[in-house]
């Protein structure tokens, strides 16, 4: 099951990252922004727009598959790994500066994911079984 989570969240991160990078490339190729047929042609003639749409659909289906099995808390936290990957790739591909605030934010995201995962694995199984007592089910007791 751990391999399922690892592969699933890496796939989700890949799709989410590809979506964001594709949107950035599509936006850069669609400039200058204007309301005209030429601009719409530039926008929809760009393959990055379709890459963004397809990778967003892939992320959606990956996320829905993960939510069937993964605990919600750690799953939601781990879904934010894309913030780190997009930050790093934007620095490389678009020459964007990563400041100390960005580095600290990435570290806090990773710490949050780790703490939620540890908390989820150390939670006792008895908490998940919340079957009511038989006395509470009987009317008039």
Per-position pLDDT tens, the chain of length 141: 678 888 888 999 999 999 999 999 998 888 888 888 888 888 888 899 999 999 999 999 999 999 888 877 777 877 888 999 999 999 999 999 999 999 999 999 889 888 887 877 776 554 554 545 445 555 554
Residue 44 has which token pair? 């929809």
Q: Are 59 and 88 in contact (CB under 8 A)?
A: no
Alpha-carbon span 85 to 101, nearest angstrom? 16
pLDDT of 124 reads: 58
Four-point Cα dihedral 114, 117, 123, 127, nearest 10: 140
Q: Is the pTM of this model over 0.95?
A: no
| pLDDT for the residue 45 | 87
Amino acid 140: pLDDT? 53
What local confidence, expressed as pLDDT, does residue 75 receive? 78
């Amino acid at each position: 099951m751990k391999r399922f989570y690892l592969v699933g969240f890496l796939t989700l991160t890949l799709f989410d990252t590809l979506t964001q990078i594709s949107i950035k490339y599509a936006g850069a190729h669609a400039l200058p922004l204007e309301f005209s047929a030429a601009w719409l042609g530039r926008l929809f003639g760009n393959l990055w727009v379709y890459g963004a749409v397809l990778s967003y659909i892939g992320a959606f289906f990956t996320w829905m598959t993960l939510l069937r099995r993964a605990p919600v808390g750690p799953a939601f936290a781990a879904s934010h790994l894309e913030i780190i990957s997009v930050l790093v790739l934007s620095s490389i591909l678009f020459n964007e500066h990563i400041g100390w605030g960005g580095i600290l934010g990435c570290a806090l995201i990773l710490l949050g994911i780790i703490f939620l995962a540890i908390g989820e694995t150390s939670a006792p199984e008895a908490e998940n079984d919340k079957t009511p007592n038989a006395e509470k089910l009987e009317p008039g007791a």
